[in-house]
Structure 1
Amino acid sequence: MTAAPAPTVALPHSDLLELRGRLDVAERERLERIEEHLRTVVRPAVVEPWVQDRFTPELLPGLAELGLGHVFTDGSSPLFQGLVHATLARTDLSLSALVGIHNELIVATIATLGSEEQKRRWLPSLERFESLGAFCLTEPDHGSDIAGGLGTQARRTDDGWVISGSKRWIGAGTLAQVAVVWARDAEDGQIKGFLVPTDAPGYRARKIEHKTGLKIMQNADIVFDDVALPADAMLPGATSFAQANGLLLASRAWVGWQGLGAQQGVLEVLRDYALEREQFGKPLAGFQIIQQHLAEIAGNLCATAGMMAQIADLQEADRLTMLHAATAKATATRLARASAALGRDALGGNGIVADFEMTKIMNDVEAIYSYEGTYAINSLIAARALTGVSAFC
């Protein structure tokens, strides 16, 4: 049996539905510049830090030059922003998580809910990646039930506020210069947002060790030990959980784009491997089972891409609801999980070696399947919207 001949035509881009063709010329060219940098500079540099659980500050200046610190505020279209997040996820899910949280939950919070003084103080350095932020919502004892169970407390004083409590799973918690902290006002019981400089006395962050996914992202346990803040540390637009929930609406849509990018990464890694690796005298790409895996991954990818394109259209029209966002997040990450499992299976033993990238993608997908609301929680949110009946306890 002879080896299959090498392809003689250009293979299709993993943007199989050609969503980039819907961008205007300027955004398409900008996306291509971002894609080139991620392909040539970032992708070769992230496997070793992933294995070592090490953050990569050396990559931030390049991301800043591409404008990735201010995608939320630069006036770009929702489709462009989504494709940027997908392209980042295609390259490395940890960095896509960092950039996504930075834009969707840090910059967005300050830009939409902050005072003019808060914007002047924090946004310029954040948008240049000279500063990082930490979004502090989840707690050690409250994740899925955070809206009703949040225990971190904010007490009014003559001079301002005192924050006490703890948070868990906080991205960049050990690296950030400012924390967006959600705490319950002891006076009226409402959940409010505060900007806490991480050098404030009483702020303590400890890296969560031994993660098996999103290993470049430094997640932290954070303790707020009676952190004293001035009165103007409160975000004037963050006076109840409704504002936090509004941010989660956009961030769940963003995770859908991560799910798309992860599947693009799976497809590219498997296709390259299948064309290069030979067994029984021919490339793996010539075996029916491998082709079936590739076709199924492509189908999952296209289903996700079509869904996310419509999500972008809804965002553009200001019609995105939690039904849309929760469905997109749950579905995109479910399909990404299925695609990653197919990719890992096709690589055999090499599928569990980080140097071949597939296990890296697969483990990172496990993390995005659970964060920004687990699959089950997002399913319940969607079904509540469909029926008008809540199944939450």
Structure 2
Amino acid sequence: MTAATHETAQSESTTLRTRLYGECDPMNYEALLTDAEQGELLKLRAFLETDAKPLLADYWERGEFPAQLIKPMAALDLITPASLTVGGAKPRSLYEGFRNFELARTDASLATYYNGQSGLFRTTVLRGGSEDQAKAWLPLIDSFEMTGVFALTEPEHGSDIAGGLVTSARRNGNNWVINGQKRWIGNAVFADYLAVLARDVADSQIKAFLVKTDAPGVTMKNIGGKMSLRMVQNSDISLDNVEVTEEFRLARINSFADVADLLRSMRSGVAWFAAGVQAGAYEAALKYAGEREQFGRPISGFQMVQDKLVGMLGNTIASLGMVVRLSQQQDEGVYRDQDSAMAKAWTCSRMRETVASAREIAGGNGILLSNDVGRFFADAEAIYTYEGTKEINTLVVGRAITGRSAFTK
């Protein structure tokens, strides 16, 4: 087969496939997915449309997570699906990115919950655990038989956590005794384990431990009064002389440099969220503009509305292009701090612009949950901040391109 014939056949195959993102992906980045990968995403789409979407407005307003979705989401087997792991293969970062995109396009809280397990907790065990630990626990994590969350942030330390982390771990024979507090730990109430980052009092280095959420000395309090990601159950967590055996210390995390290795790959997931939220907001605004009439015709025919829609679509396409390329690099084994930091900072800035335009297009009705745009507008604010603020990620990129660190001591 000649190169031209191959390209024609590939093009014909692509046009025969169901387009998942026809409205928000006119450049067809999804064509980079295999048929098997798209099949898994179609399975997720069906679940989100049928089971999840009807619940979102009600639970968002109540500030509760629809716990009845947890088991069905786990049963989808989307972390290491059989179709993508034939012969010991591993799912591609590109597939994982589009999985986050699909979730966030529907709801940022659902995406945050699922990625807490499939991204943050799994990455912590995969990259931070020994070979034996990863071998024992990853299959349980993938099946949701072992659930967990990532516990790094503290009440007084977020952006300065590298040097400011105060949660302590003290070795006592074969056990460790952990004391401290964690804050903003999403959906810990649904988890079996907390992946707690603590400072070893012996050498002042950061270590990681899997702490049972029901262990003596662990207390959790829900953080209420939120205007963003209202369905996510964020917790303040206290650890008072909590004992953990050495077998539950993640063997490959022995400094903050090791933690930074985790964050490097975690940030890419949040950048995919930002792209997905933009897609959801754009689709909701486009639908509203086609249905809403003023001055005797749909507002989608007004020049200023079209200008906003075009800007939103441009932001979404550009963000999607950036995260697609980031995932392709990761599939090639290239993980650089500046790449994930740039993607997180830039896509989240575009996300803010996009959801604001969606809110403007819907006018006064934009604050109603029934139109979706208000939910995307509010939830974008949390995504803009977590996994590193724009300022912190900008300094990471700035250090890489100039060779000079502008971080304060």
Cα separation, 2, equivalents of 1:386 and 1:70: 36
Give the secondary-structure state (helix, strand or coil) at the position aligned to 1:326. Answer: helix
Cα separation, 2, equivalents of 1:117 and 1:313: 28
Cα separation, 1, equivalents of 2:73 and 2:25: 21
Identity %: 40
Tell me which amino acid in the other structure corresponds to 2:306.
Q
Q: Is the 2:24–2:317 contact (alpha carbons within 8 Å) kept by the matching residues of 1?
A: no
Task: Label 1:11 to 1:322 Cα distance change in 2 as closer, same or farther (>3 A).
Answer: closer
- 1:205 is matched with 220
Please identify, of 61-70 and 204-213, the stretch whose mean Cα deviation from structure 2 is larger.
61-70
Match of 1:292 among 307, 325, 332: 307
Cα separation, 2, equivalents of 1:121 and 1:258: 29
Q: Residue 321 in 1 paired to residue 331 in 2?
A: no
CA RMSD of aligned residues (A): 1.8
Q: Is the 1:253–1:311 contact (alpha carbons within 8 Å) kept by the matching residues of 2?
A: yes
TM alignment of 1:348-359, pairs within 5 A: 348-359=363-374
Q: Is the 2:193–2:211 contact (alpha carbons within 8 Å) kept by the matching residues of 1?
A: yes
Once the 2 structures are TM-superposed, how far is the Cα of residue 117 of structure 1 from its aligned partner?
5.8
- 1:391 is matched with 406
Once the 2 structures are TM-superposed, how far is the Cα of residue 102 of structure 1 from its aligned partner?
1.4
Q: Residue 181 in 1 paired to residue 196 in 2?
A: yes
- 2:120 is matched with 105
- 2:141 is matched with 126
Q: Residue 275 in 1 paired to residue 285 in 2?
A: no
Tell me which amino acid in the other structure corresponds to 1:201.
P
Cα separation, 1, equivalents of 2:371 and 2:104: 16
Q: Is the 2:127–2:262 contact (alpha carbons within 8 Å) kept by the matching residues of 1?
A: no
Q: Is the 2:74–2:144 contact (alpha carbons within 8 Å) kept by the matching residues of 1?
A: yes
Q: Is the 1:174–1:206 contact (alpha carbons within 8 Å) kept by the matching residues of 2?
A: no
- 1:78 is matched with 93
Tell me which amino acid in the other structure corresponds to 1:85.
N
Once the 2 structures are TM-superposed, how far is the Cα of residue 37 of structure 1 from its aligned partner?
2.0
Please identify, of 217-226 and 15-24, the stretch whose mean Cα deviation from structure 2 is larger.
15-24
Give the secondary-structure state (helix, strand or coil) at the position aligned to 2:61. Answer: helix
**TM-score for the superposition, normalised by structure 2:** 0.90
Give the secondary-structure state (helix, strand or coil) at the position aligned to 2:189. Answer: coil
Task: Label 1:84 to 1:44 Cα distance change in 2 as closer, same or farther (>3 A).
Answer: same
Once the 2 structures are TM-superposed, how far is the Cα of residue 12 of structure 1 from its aligned partner?
3.6
Q: Is the 2:80–2:91 contact (alpha carbons within 8 Å) kept by the matching residues of 1?
A: no
Q: Deviations over 1:244-290 (max 9, x none)?
A: 11111111111110011001001110111111111111111111111
Once the 2 structures are TM-superposed, how far is the Cα of residue 206 of structure 1 from its aligned partner?
0.6
- 1:309 is matched with 324
Once the 2 structures are TM-superposed, how far is the Cα of residue 122 of structure 1 from its aligned partner?
4.3
Match of 2:262 among 247, 255, 259: 247
Tell me which amino acid in the other structure corresponds to 2:67.
P
Please identify, of 121-130 and 151-160, the stretch whose mean Cα deviation from structure 2 is larger.
121-130
**TM-score for the superposition, normalised by structure 1:** 0.93
Q: Residue 92 in 1 paired to residue 113 in 2?
A: no
Q: Deviations over 1:348-375 (max 9, x none)?
A: 1111112211111011100000000011
Tell me which amino acid in the other structure corresponds to 1:44.
P
Cα separation, 1, equivalents of 2:296 and 2:223: 46
Q: Is the 2:63–2:230 contact (alpha carbons within 8 Å) kept by the matching residues of 1?
A: yes
Give the secondary-structure state (helix, strand or coil) at the position aligned to 1:46. Answer: helix
Task: Label 1:298 to 1:38 Cα distance change in 2 as closer, same or farther (>3 A).
Answer: same
Once the 2 structures are TM-superposed, how far is the Cα of residue 337 of structure 1 from its aligned partner?
0.6
- 1:27 is matched with 37
Please identify, of 172-181 and 105-114, the stretch whose mean Cα deviation from structure 2 is larger.
105-114
Match of 1:15 among 22, 25, 30: 25
Tell me which amino acid in the other structure corresponds to 1:176.
A
Cα separation, 1, equivalents of 2:158 and 2:100: 24
TM alignment of 1:200-239, pairs within 5 A: 200-239=215-254
Tell me which amino acid in the other structure corresponds to 1:68.
L
Cα separation, 2, equivalents of 1:212 and 1:130: 32
Q: Residue 51 in 1 paired to residue 66 in 2?
A: no
Once the 2 structures are TM-superposed, how far is the Cα of residue 387 of structure 1 from its aligned partner?
0.8
Once the 2 structures are TM-superposed, how far is the Cα of residue 28 of structure 1 from its aligned partner?
1.7
Give the secondary-structure state (helix, strand or coil) at the position aligned to 1:189. Answer: coil
Match of 1:368 among 352, 377, 383: 383
Once the 2 structures are TM-superposed, how far is the Cα of residue 128 of structure 1 from its aligned partner?
2.6
Give the secondary-structure state (helix, strand or coil) at the position aligned to 1:168. Answer: strand
Q: Number of residue pairs matched?
A: 383
Cα separation, 1, equivalents of 2:21 and 2:215: 53
Cα separation, 2, equivalents of 1:366 and 1:199: 31
Task: Label 1:179 to 1:214 Cα distance change in 2 as closer, same or farther (>3 A).
Answer: same
Q: Is the 2:369–2:375 contact (alpha carbons within 8 Å) kept by the matching residues of 1?
A: yes
Once the 2 structures are TM-superposed, how far is the Cα of residue 115 of structure 1 from its aligned partner?
4.0
